Amino acid sequence: MQASISIHDSPELRYVLRLADTCLILAQRLGQWCGHAPVLEEDIALTNMALDLIGQARALYTHAGDLHATLNGVRYDEDQLAFLRDERDYFNPTLVELPNALDGSAAPGDFAQTVLRNCMIASLLVLVWTALLRSNDKALAAIAEKAIKEARYHQQHYADWVVRLGDGTDVSAKRMQHALGLLWPYVSELFVEDAIDRAAATQGLGPAWSTLRASWMSQMQSVLEAAQLQVPQLNAFCSTGRCGVHSEHMGFLLAEMQHLQRAYPGAVW
């Protein structure tokens, strides 16, 4: 079995990995829908989004590999970074690693929870990419320029779904409200400010995600309002995926995602 790589501890690198892992792990979840979505057209739309996210993650991992080489002389490629880290070295927010049906209601997932999460994350990524257009890291700004167009479409498409289902039939409204209740507690984590974000903001690398909170909230609130959904209150719960401390679901996801590279080191298409 292929051993894990160890990641140099630097705020700059972690900042880039947080974004890269957000894209990759959500893509992995969306990939589980492939061939199973409620209708053929949306099956293609979901996997399109997954592939867009993987493309973004690839660019970010390549960039992170360059950063790593600059920081401590070891260069990792995108596959090593994507597939050969231990769970604690992934820095995505917990929201993206949650199963497609958090309450175990259906395999391969609950469509309401899926479209809601896509809308939440796409809305966040639009804000992140927009701010990254002004990054003083030219490579990051270039990645943002390509990714922002994809993220805008994801946001539009999945916000539309949230409104359709929330403001739809009694059953669909009930299921969207249920999904919102399940996923909303994971919002707090997205905008926690910490040393990594502060360092990135100070250096001009990218925005502290905490500064995006107000815009994100107002965008989500207008979507949820149009969807006739009640926004739940946030309580003290705050997940910790961005610090590498994940939910119980992450290990299973990684086992499936990493299996091939672990069992067949360096395997390529």
Partner 1 sequence: MNQPAQEWPLWEVFVRARAGLDHKHCGSLHASDAKMAIQMARDVYTRRQEGCSVWVVRADHITASDPQNKETYFDPAEDKVYRHPSFYRLPDAVDHM
Chain residues binding partner 1 by CB under 8 A are 39-42, 44-45, 48, 153, 156-157, 160, 164
DSSP state of 145: H
Cis, bond preceding 265 (omega within 30 deg of 0):
no
CA–CA dist 141, 132 (Å, integer): 5
Which residue, 11 or 31, is less far from partner 1 as judged by CB?
31
Q: How far is the CB of 161 from partner 1 (least distance, A)?
A: 9
212 and 128 Cβ atoms separated by less than 8 Å? yes
Which residue, 39 or 268, is less far from partner 1 as judged by CB?
39
Q: How far is the CB of 176 from partner 1 (least distance, A)?
A: 16
CA–CA dist 147, 151 (Å, integer): 6
Which residue, 42 or 89, is less far from partner 1 as judged by CB?
42
CA–CA dist 109, 50 (Å, integer): 15
Q: How far is the CB of 41 from partner 1 (least distance, A)?
A: 4
Which residue, 8 or 164, is less far from partner 1 as judged by CB?
164
Which residue, 77 or 145, is less far from partner 1 as judged by CB?
145
Q: How far is the CB of 130 from partner 1 (least distance, A)?
A: 22
3-state secondary structure of 31: helix
CA–CA dist 81, 85 (Å, integer): 6
Q: How far is the CB of 149 from partner 1 (least distance, A)?
A: 12
